[in-house]
């Protein structure tokens, strides 16, 4: 369901449930699996999810709850559908009181991208959400217009320092005031989307796509009614396949032990487009 935050309305799902997260992508019609932000009610819940250096804790002391997202080393408590297979996780404690009540009652991290169809303008009212996603989501919790209205500022936090990954609702100047150190800015000013890097998806084994049958001693990552080592969805359900994708790639790679992996054809529609995007990266020639 969609819910208000002070930045934009988010489309939320249980961050530990890969199928729930896959349904977020399906509802948004998002063509690729970008990593998502996990929303929690308080600092204790945030500490369960990521490791942060002291400087980031200090920043959080001042600006959480608020329009600030911190990306730290993941403790592996959420679905790989949320991290898109990355070792890091983005976490935010929103300031909107309704969001915080909701998150406290849910008692689990909630993955939420902005509640708009992919490629469209972010929603700052419940009406925007309905206009874009009516019929595709269960509900929207209406708390009037968002007070911030632009997405959160995203800061990467490692022992090497803090990096601005996305400018947003918390001014960079405020962050520099809080931590007294200059952020490392990306030269091109673009959003750092490590989920797009091929190497993050590449298994150790070689990967061959659109395989109708195995060749030699290959292992088959199946889809639909095939005899496979692991099957993303025996019933050919793309939502189920998306939810299983990262976990099964890890598993079959561990089983391969020098053998190659081949993958059944996946239909190029719905979540299949995102699945194929990630599979093509996994199969791409390695550096």
Binding site for Mg ion (CB under 5 A): 114
Among ligand TXA, Mg ion, none, residue 92 binds (CB under 5-8 Å by kind): ligand TXA
Note whether 50 and 73 are within 8 A (CB): yes
Contacts 24+ apart (CB under 8 A), 280-286: 280/209, 281/198, 281/200, 281/201, 281/202, 282/198, 282/201, 282/202, 282/203, 282/207, 282/249, 283/206, 283/207, 283/208, 283/209, 284/198, 284/202, 286/199, 286/202
Query: Cα 240 to chain center, whole Å?
Result: 16
Among ligand TXA, Mg ion, none, residue 191 binds (CB under 5-8 Å by kind): ligand TXA
Other CB atoms within 10 Å distance of the CB of residue 80: 21
Nearer to ligand TXA by C-beta: 85 or 272?
85
The 36-75 contact track toward ligand TXA, x by CB under 6 A, reads: xx-------------------------------x-x----
Residues 113-142 that bind ligand TXA (CB under 6 A): 113-114
The 186-215 contact track toward ligand TXA, x by CB under 6 A, reads: -----xxxx---------------------
Q: Is 152 in the site for ligand TXA (CB under 6 A)?
A: yes
Question: Judged by CB under 6 A, which of 17, 34, 158, 163 binds ligand TXA?
Answer: 34
Name the 3-class secondary structure at 184: strand
Nearer to ligand TXA by C-beta: 184 or 191?
191
Note whether 133 and 115 are within 8 A (CB): yes
The distance of closest approach from Cβ of residue 9 to Mg ion in the complex, given in angstroms and rounded to an integer, is: 11
The distance of closest approach from Cβ of residue 219 to Mg ion in the complex, given in angstroms and rounded to an integer, is: 36
The distance of closest approach from Cβ of residue 65 to ligand TXA in the complex, given in angstroms and rounded to an integer, is: 11
* Helix or strand run (H / E) with residue 105: helix 97-106
**Distance (Å, whole) CA 151 – CA 87:** 23
**Distance (Å, whole) CA 91 – CA 70:** 5
**Distance (Å, whole) CA 212 – CA 170:** 51
The piece of 4-12, 203-211, 251-259, 268-276 that touches ligand TXA (CB under 6 A) is 4-12
Chain residues that interact with ligand TXA, rule: CB under 6 A: 5, 7-8, 10, 34-37, 69, 71, 83, 86, 88-90, 92, 112-114, 151-152, 154, 165-166, 191-194
């Amino acid at each position: 369901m969609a819910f208000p935050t002070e930045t934009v309305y988010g489309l939320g799902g249980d961050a530990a449930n890969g199928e729930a997260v896959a349904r977020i992508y399906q509802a948004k019609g998002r063509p690729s699996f970008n990593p998502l932000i996990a929303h929690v009610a308080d600092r204790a819940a945030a500490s369960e999810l990521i490791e942060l250096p002291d400087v980031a804790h200090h920043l959080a002391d001042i600006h959480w709850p608020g329009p600030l997202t911190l990306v730290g080393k993941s403790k592996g408590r959420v679905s790989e559908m949320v991290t898109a297979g990355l070792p890091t996780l983005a976490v935010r404690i929103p300031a909107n009181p309704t969001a915080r009540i909701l998150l406290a009652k849910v008692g689990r991290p909630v993955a939420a991208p902005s509640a708009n169809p992919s490629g469209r303008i972010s929603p700052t009212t419940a009406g925007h959400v309905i206009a874009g996603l009516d019929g595709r989501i269960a509900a929207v919790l209406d708390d009037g217009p968002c007070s911030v209205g632009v997405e959160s500022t995203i800061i990467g936090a490692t022992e090497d320092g803090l990096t601005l990954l996305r400018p947003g609702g918390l001014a960079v100047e405020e962050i520099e005031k809080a931590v007294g150190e200059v952020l490392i800015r990306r030269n091109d000013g673009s959003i750092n989307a490590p989920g797009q890097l091929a190497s993050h998806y590449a298994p150790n084994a070689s990967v061959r796509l659109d395989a109708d049958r195995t060749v030699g001693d290959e292992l088959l990552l199946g889809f639909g009614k095939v005899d496979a080592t692991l099957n993303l969805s025996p019933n050919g359900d793309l939502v189920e396949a998306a939810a299983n994708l990262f976990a099964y790639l890890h598993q079959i790679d561990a089983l391969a032990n020098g053998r190659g992996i081949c993958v059944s054809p996946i239909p190029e529609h719905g979540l299949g487009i995102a699945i194929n995007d990630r599979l093509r990266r996994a199969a791409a020639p390695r550096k």
